[in-house]
Amino acid sequence: MSQDAPPPAPARRRDSAATRAAILSAARETFTQRGYDAAGLREIAHAAEVDTRLISRYFGSKEGLFAEVVDLAYEKSMMMTPEHNAQAARTLLTGGHEAPGATGADAAPAEGLLLTLRSASNPRAAAIMRESIERNYQQRLADALPGTDTEGRAALLIAICAGVLLNRHLLGHTALDGPDTERLIPYLHAALDAVAKMPEQQGDR
């Protein structure tokens, strides 16, 4: 009890850095769960236990806040190399339901991609995400690919992952969420390899 904060305030009172961080965290979660359009500033502010008007103060506008959230998501998102295609296929098809609050490097690529999928319908949000993906993620993935056309193939890999997550989590396809989903892992693995590896390496395990 002697550890109580000296001021009688129950929480932080005047800490702009902490406030910014709280807004950012709440925004990441809300945007990921509901998408850019459906997520309201009032809802984000309520989740962050912060006055609504402070968001506009710190981030300028809803777009500004979103851009910062997207950048953060893809900066920290998991790296995917051709060697990890097997694990990626498994994670995409079976994971994703646990650890919804995982932040940072622990977060699966699903975090950023889910955010992208749910906000892609808004053209402004789509432009922001495209820019961030190409700058933060696609470039690193392309550098890890062998052979030629690495940029395009990296984009193709991202597209395949996004498509699976879309059908599984947004549409909720029963065929991708049932107990038989594990049997699809080899197929998805082969599809990823077909894009990530060169033809002569296809058979490698």
Partner DNA sequence: ATCGTAAGTCCACACTCGTGGACATGCAAG
Partner DNA sequence: CTTGCATGTCCACGAGTGTGGACTTACGAT
Applying CB under 8 A, among 40, 149, 201, 204 the residue interacting with a second copy is 149
Rounded to an integer, what distance in angstroms lies between the CA atom of residue 76 and that of residue 78?
6
Q: Please identify, using beta-carbon distances, which residue of 22 and 67 lies nearer to a second copy.
A: 67
Select from 23, 133, 136, 137 the one that contacts a second copy (CB under 8 A): 133
Q: How far is CA 53 from CA 33, 56, 194, in A?
A: 22, 6, 49
Q: Which long-range contacts (CB under 8 A, 24 or more apart) does 151-157 make?
A: 153/195, 153/196, 156/195, 157/80, 157/192, 157/195, 157/196
Task: Residue 172: count other Cβ atoms within 10 Å of its Cβ.
Answer: 9
Q: How far is the CB of 164 from a second copy (least distance, A)?
A: 5
Draw the binding track, 5-44, toward a second copy (x: CB under 8 A; -: no contact): -----------------------------xx-xx------
Distances (CA, A) of 7 to 1, 11, 24, 165: 14, 9, 26, 47
Say how far apart CA 189 and CA 205 lie, in whole Å.
10
The verdict on 110 binding a second copy (CB under 8 A) reads no
Nearer to a second copy, 25 or 122 (CB): 122
Give the residue with the Cβ less far from a second copy, 22 or 65: 65
Where along the sequence are the contacts to a second copy (CB under 8 A)?
34-35, 37-38, 116-122, 126-127, 129-130, 133-134, 138, 148-149, 151-156, 158-164, 166-168, 170-176, 178, 180-181, 183-184, 187-188, 190-195, 199, 202
